[in-house]
Structure 1
Amino acid sequence: MKTPIELDRYSCNWIGGERVQGTAAMEVENPATGRTIARVPDLEDEAVDRAIESAGQAFDSWSRLPAGVRAGYLNEWAQRLLDHSEELASLLTLEQGKPLVESRGEIAGAAAIIRWYAEEGKRAYGEIIPASNEGQQLLVYREAAGVVGLITPMNFPAATVARKVAPALAAGCTLVLKPAETTPLTAIALFDHLMATGIPAGAANLVTGEAARIGARLMAHPAIRKISFTGSTRIGKLLMEQAARTVKKVSLELGGNSPVIVFPDADPEKAAADIVANKFENCGQVCNGINRIYVHEDIRDAFVAALLSRVRRLRTGPGLSEGADVGPLISGAALAKVERLVGDAVAKGGELLAGGRRLQAEPYADGYFYAPTLIAGVTGEMDIAREEIFGPVAPVLAFRTEEEVVAAANDTDYGLAAYVYTQNFARIHRMIRVLKTGNIGVNGTSLAYPQAPFGGVKESGIGREGGRQGLEEYTVLKYVALTTE
């Protein structure tokens, strides 16, 4: 296969507006083949500190620029991504594995996010509060938080970069980005285009390397005033502990165990189509992806049949191949986790209706492919109902009453997303009130939009990305009591 992009071009980092190489390197592999496709720097601590200091030196001048000037850089960045969307999408699929059609949508979505924050940065308003005394004004200013550290995951290596970098720059912050070890090339390519806008040196910096070491460096440095992290709950808790030492502001989007509840009055065809599209997007590696499918016992058999017919039609293959619906998992460890969860479910009485195995014949032999899987008869005691699957497996659980299913849906440490299918208007409002989650989809499974705040409750995180709230995460308030007489 001919590589769609010169991969050696993305073997660098960006510090202070300059390309930087490290003395050590980390391998990046194609999950569809298991083969190394590139090497990126494994930066030493001194270089990470230099990136932080570069952002610190750039902060005053960048934060004082008019919001419209900052917007100009962001809009040009977005346009460059659109102008080079096909090669960026091919690169994304090559290192992450998702089907090319999904990668194309992600690049377009990243550009839309950047453009939205270019405009929203112009609306970071303060307040004038009615005073208590004559001759006094009470003013509230909203200012950039300072230098921020951004840590992004592997599953959406373009969209999550945009969702963090764009609001940070729009708010007036300068930044150091640390992309996932498995998918750094997309982030580096996006930064190449950001640097090509002529953005002032040091405003945006990118470092790659061993996650725990670089993360600890970002957390320990006093110049970093805010951290935004998307990833596992385990790592999020560790970062919160580290942030306490210098009292950094944090926003965390962490794990999920998202339920969908299908009531007997739901539109069955729409619900089945939506659930399969959501569950198997990006090989199930979506933070707000459906993890548990609760179906009312009166429609269970018919609904499972509708799900099964759609799962069986899914085509698995390398993301760059024609017609692939589902690509590989990101790594051998991810594959092993899915195998463990499915094995536990079957051993405890789950009914395997489709899939349930690793794909090992050609063209899957050297990659991390798992067959799209549907399991019925799942119970709350199975690991697959308790843990985030992050793979192409759809577990179905039956329920009898509304009270029963609400208790089951809420019986988790997570609270990122939930979905409900019903035509009953009163039930919709009850579900909105009683489900303990940060995001709810009603009769649909699309949640992530630039203008809407996205984030979790409980152990799914704190803070929000998207919307004006996503911009506010990168600001701090300054209150002034001004005596005028």
Structure 2
Amino acid sequence: MTDLDERGLFIGGAFVPAHSGATFPVHNPHNDEVFVRVAEAREDDVEDAIAAARSAFEGPWGALTPKERGKLLLRLARLIQDQGESIARLEAKNSGHPIRDVRRFDLVRTVDWFEYFAGMTTKIQGDVIPSSFRGVLNYTLREPLGVVAQIVPWNFPLMFVAWNIAPALAAGNTVILKPAEYTPLSALEIARLTKEAGFPPGAVNVVPGKGSIAGAALARHPGVDKICFTGSVEVGQQIMREAATNLKRPLLELGGKGPNIIFDDADLDAAVQGSLFAAFHNQGQACIAGSRILLHESVWDKFLDAFLPRIRSLRIGDPLDEKTQMGPLTSKDHQKRVLEYVDVAKGEGAEILYGGKRPDTPETSRGYYVLPTLVRAEDPGMRICQEEVFGPFITVTPFAKEEEAVAIANGVPYGLGAGLWTQNLRRAHGVAAQLRAGMVWINSYKLVDPASPFGGMKMSGIGREMGFETMREYTQVKSVWVGYDFEPWRWPE
């Protein structure tokens, strides 16, 4: 891996400084130390990236056959696999995600995404439409959009690079990726590997910078054909407003407040284990986290008697330590925000069952750590049950009847992911049908696969990622009419 003390923007197949010469610091969330400075993209840098992406789309990238695109994506997957350990360590150091989780989830899934969409390049096809006219053939072509801009978040920085650029490239588009300011390093490393894999210059561009400057420039620029964003509802709404100025197509994956319903007939051992992972994997920094446990009153004590000791036993510490199960939050600002919700909980009269503060150990004293926090919230209308905290902070609320659980689950502005635990087949499918969520897990949680559509309802976003559904997002349909034995229409004499 190359020297990471300072890193430029990746535009047109090369690392370059920002026109302004500006850089910004990247902190290690474990100890608050600055370990890298990265070039900060501004409007003129974004212009360069758009020009490079357009040139590649209209030139060498656009000239490749689908099979050739697929081979490049597979080559990139192999390079990521070959350099996996160094990439995993970089990801853990930059994001705070424990190294062993990066290895077994993030890295594996990143390779999976590139492999899956490498195969998808040759599966994008149109249709032959039965025509109502004699002697006429009507068929459709599914074509790339052009230049796609993608603004990705900081919670899974490596995986979100693959999640976004793999399908866009597979469809034949060129991409400009703006990583989060806190976690730009994985995107820059993957960009370096695209060059090593032989991608044409300009096919992939990475412009780290502020969302209010670089991100806004991408959203409103007429030279960008599609804007994709993963993040908060508020920023998503702003991006939609910017994109509307030139009718740019948006793909938005926004917030979540995932209900995790545990019925009285659930396998409680499985529910405890699954709920722990759903809530605290990656320190709870996931839009699909199971952040609201809805617990049947008849199993309240039994579940919590098993669940609380598991929370207390989670090993918190340096993300590069092989034994660590929970690392720091990704930024100091976010640590502050999560702890502010503890004050909100207390102000609303909720009971802190565990956590609600920083861990008190020498190892964690300088980092952005928060203890895993479980809060009893009797009223599902509380702010802590309605607003996305996006951290190791979950609520538990009792219910008595199935219809009550469904009403509570659906009673938030979000509709991304939801889960339920039951051994009753009728209940499992019946409740799943009633939940207003884009994804529902039964006796499981947080399963994600590149072949399965991912996206939300209500305020959780617009569009779908993954599977063939995402190919529809990254392509457009052209209808072609061929009159092979058709007398052209004439004006009456």
Which position in structure 2 is the counterpart of 1:18?
14
Letter in 1 for 2:3: E
SS at match of 1:338: helix
Which position in structure 1 is the counterpart of 2:369?
369
Deviations along 1:17-51, one digit per CA (max 9) or x if unpaired, are 12111200011001111111111011232221011
Deviation at 1:330, TM superposition (A): 1.3
Residue 6 (structure 1) aligned to one of 3, 8, 24? 3
Q: Is the 8 A contact 2:42 2:213 kept in 1?
A: no
Mapped to 2, the partners of 1:157 and 1:43 lie a distance apart of 18
Mapped to 1, the partners of 2:101 and 2:406 lie a distance apart of 33
Which position in structure 1 is the counterpart of 2:248?
248
SS at match of 1:149: strand
Mapped to 2, the partners of 1:218 and 1:338 lie a distance apart of 30
SS at match of 1:134: coil
Deviation at 1:337, TM superposition (A): 1.9
Which position in structure 1 is the counterpart of 2:87?
88
Which position in structure 1 is the counterpart of 2:491?
none
Matched, 1:52 2:47: no
Which position in structure 2 is the counterpart of 1:31?
29
Mapped to 2, the partners of 1:263 and 1:358 lie a distance apart of 32
Deviation at 1:60, TM superposition (A): 2.3
Q: Is the 8 A contact 1:15 1:205 kept in 2?
A: yes
Q: Is the 8 A contact 1:151 1:180 kept in 2?
A: yes
SS at match of 1:299: helix
Counterparts of 1:276-355 in structure 2, within 5 Å, are 276-355=276-355
Shifted more, 279-288 versus 315-324: the winner is 315-324
Mapped to 1, the partners of 2:182 and 2:350 lie a distance apart of 33
Mapped to 2, the partners of 1:217 and 1:147 lie a distance apart of 14
Matched, 1:141 2:137: no
Mapped to 2, the partners of 1:218 and 1:151 lie a distance apart of 9
Mapped to 2, the partners of 1:375 and 1:459 lie a distance apart of 24
Deviations along 1:338-366, one digit per CA (max 9) or x if unpaired, are 21222222343323222121125411111
Shifted more, 131-140 versus 369-378: the winner is 369-378
SS at match of 1:316: coil
Deviations along 1:209-235, one digit per CA (max 9) or x if unpaired, are 121111121122211000111111110
SS at match of 2:363: coil
Which position in structure 2 is the counterpart of 1:237?
237
SS at match of 1:440: strand
Which position in structure 2 is the counterpart of 1:132?
132
Q: Is the 8 A contact 2:7 2:15 kept in 1?
A: no
Mapped to 2, the partners of 1:442 and 1:93 lie a distance apart of 30
Q: Is the 8 A contact 1:113 1:450 kept in 2?
A: yes
Q: Is the 8 A contact 1:455 1:461 kept in 2?
A: yes
Deviation at 1:368, TM superposition (A): 0.8
Counterparts of 1:33-182 in structure 2, within 5 Å, are 33-61=31-59, 62-104=61-103, 105-182=105-182
Matched, 1:273 2:269: no
Deviation at 1:428, TM superposition (A): 1.4
Mapped to 2, the partners of 1:272 and 1:364 lie a distance apart of 27
Letter in 2 for 1:74: L
Deviation at 1:471, TM superposition (A): 2.1
Q: Is the 8 A contact 1:360 1:366 kept in 2?
A: no
Shifted more, 289-298 versus 102-111: the winner is 102-111
Deviation at 1:331, TM superposition (A): 1.6
Letter in 2 for 1:198: G
Mapped to 1, the partners of 2:428 and 2:38 lie a distance apart of 49
Deviation at 1:63, TM superposition (A): 2.6
Equivalent residues, number = 481
Structure 1 residues 64 and 6, CA, compared in 2 at 3 Å: closer, same or farther?
closer
SS at match of 1:123: coil
SS at match of 2:303: helix
Which position in structure 2 is the counterpart of 1:397?
397
Shifted more, 330-339 versus 137-146: the winner is 330-339
Q: Is the 8 A contact 2:377 2:385 kept in 1?
A: no
Mapped to 1, the partners of 2:94 and 2:328 lie a distance apart of 11
Deviation at 1:318, TM superposition (A): 1.4
Which position in structure 2 is the counterpart of 1:422?
422
Mapped to 1, the partners of 2:223 and 2:389 lie a distance apart of 37
Mapped to 1, the partners of 2:341 and 2:43 lie a distance apart of 38
Letter in 1 for 2:273: A
Deviation at 1:5, TM superposition (A): 7.1
Mapped to 2, the partners of 1:253 and 1:179 lie a distance apart of 15
CA RMSD of aligned residues (A): 1.3
Shifted more, 353-362 versus 416-425: the winner is 353-362
Counterparts of 1:191-202 in structure 2, within 5 Å, are 191-202=191-202
Letter in 2 for 1:230: T
Shifted more, 464-473 versus 172-181: the winner is 464-473
SS at match of 2:415: coil
Q: Is the 8 A contact 2:384 2:395 kept in 1?
A: yes
Mapped to 1, the partners of 2:97 and 2:215 lie a distance apart of 27
Structure 1 residues 234 and 365, CA, compared in 2 at 3 Å: closer, same or farther?
same
Deviation at 1:137, TM superposition (A): 1.0
Q: Is the 8 A contact 2:267 2:422 kept in 1?
A: yes
Deviation at 1:84, TM superposition (A): 0.5
Deviations along 1:319-341, one digit per CA (max 9) or x if unpaired, are 01231110011122211222122
TM-score (norm 2): 0.95
Deviations along 1:366-390, one digit per CA (max 9) or x if unpaired, are 1110111222244213221011121
Structure 2 unmatched ranges of 5 or more: 486-493
Deviation at 1:404, TM superposition (A): 1.1
Letter in 2 for 1:59: F
Letter in 1 for 2:67: G
Query: Aligned residues: percent identity?
Result: 38
Letter in 2 for 1:106: D
Deviations along 1:434-468, one digit per CA (max 9) or x if unpaired, are 11010000000032101101000111001111111
Structure 1 unmatched ranges of 5 or more: none
Q: Is the 8 A contact 1:328 1:368 kept in 2?
A: yes
Letter in 2 for 1:144: P
Letter in 2 for 1:25: T
Q: Is the 8 A contact 1:147 1:226 kept in 2?
A: yes
Mapped to 2, the partners of 1:260 and 1:341 lie a distance apart of 20
Counterparts of 1:179-194 in structure 2, within 5 Å, are 179-194=179-194
Q: Is the 8 A contact 2:252 2:463 kept in 1?
A: yes
Letter in 1 for 2:328: P
